Amino acid sequence: MTTIVARTVTDVLQPRNVLFAGMLGIGLVAAGDWTGIPWGFLGALCAGIVPAAYIEWERKRGTWGDRHVVDRTQRMPIFLVILASIGLGSVVMVFGHAPTSILVAMLALWVMTVGLLAVNEFWKISVDSAVASAVPAMLVVVQSPWWLLAYALTAAVCWSRVVLTYHTVAQTVAGASLGAATAVPFLFA
């Protein structure tokens, strides 16, 4: 039963889904009205949906067994796709005069990905935990401290990754810590 719950948590709260909901929320708050939703959608597309589609494409080709890519030595192409996708989305946002907060969120996610890539070179860090922590951290800064309550979901993601033996406790804590650091750029915006 524990494994079934952990599998459900890790599947429902996978980065693509967390980023989709979070970036729409950040876009809405950044613009102050519905006009931020398309910017949030662009952010979700570039940060979450495109990378998830790439992973699924490679999975169908037989490159990886599933979306979790448990062998850290196989993760480099994923990080490069994420960096390119977020970078391209950020350029579109700059030229499209997107609200500052959504652009800062994209840049923070780009920097977080660089950090994940650097750590991944020598140690397997949890990307799922990083994303599950980054989104509430950014929402705390752009909207309300009440988003700290969403860290219960971050803890659930970390727990699920450990139960499913995809990561150790240290790897999930490191990922969540790096994700929380995405809020720092907002202090300078």
Give the C-alpha separation, 176 to 159, whole Å.
Answer: 11
Nearest in space to 37 (alpha carbons), one of 45, 117, 66: 45
Average pLDDT over residues 126-130: 97
Per-residue pLDDT for 42 more than 90?
yes
Domain count, the chain: 1
Higher pLDDT, 154 or 73: 154
Residues 6+ apart with CB under 8 A from 50: 81, 85
* Residue 6 exposed, middle or buried by CB count within 10 Å (0-12, 13-18, 19+): buried
pLDDT tens readout for residues 155-166: 999 999 999 999
- Domain region containing 54: 2-188
Kindly state the tokens that stand for 47: 């940060």
pTM, two decimals, is 0.94
Mean pLDDT of the chain: 94
Give the C-alpha separation, 81 to 75, whole Å.
Answer: 10
pLDDT score for 131: 98
